[in-house]
């Protein structure tokens, strides 16, 4: 079993054991099983999934880091929400506003619009989680 902890600056989201964990990292989704090699990676906005005893849970995360050390997975997220906590209407409104902002910034260098794109990915993850996808 893996010991999984997910914390934000405001609170502890998850403190449990899991058979598997899939984390959205800067280099892609990483599947974790007990005995995984030690690793530290930046998180990208997305959906973190974990399974234990035949049940799968999902959490939208945005920003932060993940550390894997032996059989412990520590996720230090800038923001994290369970499906029950996601306000789909607010996420949809944020997504629409971010899309407009990106359209207005089409002539700016990509590096300057990266924060907007990351926020858009976070809004998308929240909407996918709320929709159960």
In contact, 2 and 74? CB cutoff 8 Å: no
Q: Which helix (H) or strand (E) holds 39?
A: strand 39-42
Share of the chain above pLDDT 90, in %: 57
Instruction: Answer yes or no: is pLDDT of 133 > 70.
Output: no
What's residue 4's pLDDT? 97
Q: What is the mean pLDDT of residues 10-26?
A: 95
Instruction: Answer yes or no: is pLDDT of 34 > 70.
Output: yes
Number of Cβ within 10 Å of residue 120's Cβ equals: 19
CA nearest to 94, candidates 64, 65, 60:
60
Sign of CA dihedral 51, 52, 56, 58: negative
Share of the chain above pLDDT 70, in %: 99
Q: How many residues does the chain have?
A: 133
Mean pLDDT of the chain, nearest integer = 90
pLDDT digits (tens, 9 = 90+) for 47-79: 999 998 889 999 999 999 999 998 999 999 999
Instruction: Answer yes or no: is pLDDT of 117 > 80.
Output: yes
Q: What is the mean pLDDT of residues 99-110?
A: 80
């Amino acid at each position: 079993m893996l010991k999984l902890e997910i914390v934000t600056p405001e609170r502890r989201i998850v403190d449990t054991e899991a058979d598997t964990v899939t984390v959205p990292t800067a280099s892609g989704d990483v599947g974790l099983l007990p005995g995984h090699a030690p690793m530290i990676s930046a998180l990208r906005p997305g959906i973190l999934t974990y399974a234990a005893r035949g049940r799968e849970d999902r959490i939208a995360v945005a920003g932060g880091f993940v550390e894997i050390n032996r059989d412990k997975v520590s996720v230090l997220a800038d923001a994290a929400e369970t499906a029950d906590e996601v306000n789909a209407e607010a996420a949809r409104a944020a997504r629409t506003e971010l899309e407009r902002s990106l359209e207005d910034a089409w002539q700016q260098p990509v590096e300057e619009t990266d924060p907007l794109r990351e926020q858009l990915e976070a809004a998308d993850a929240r909407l996918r989680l709320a929709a159960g996808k």
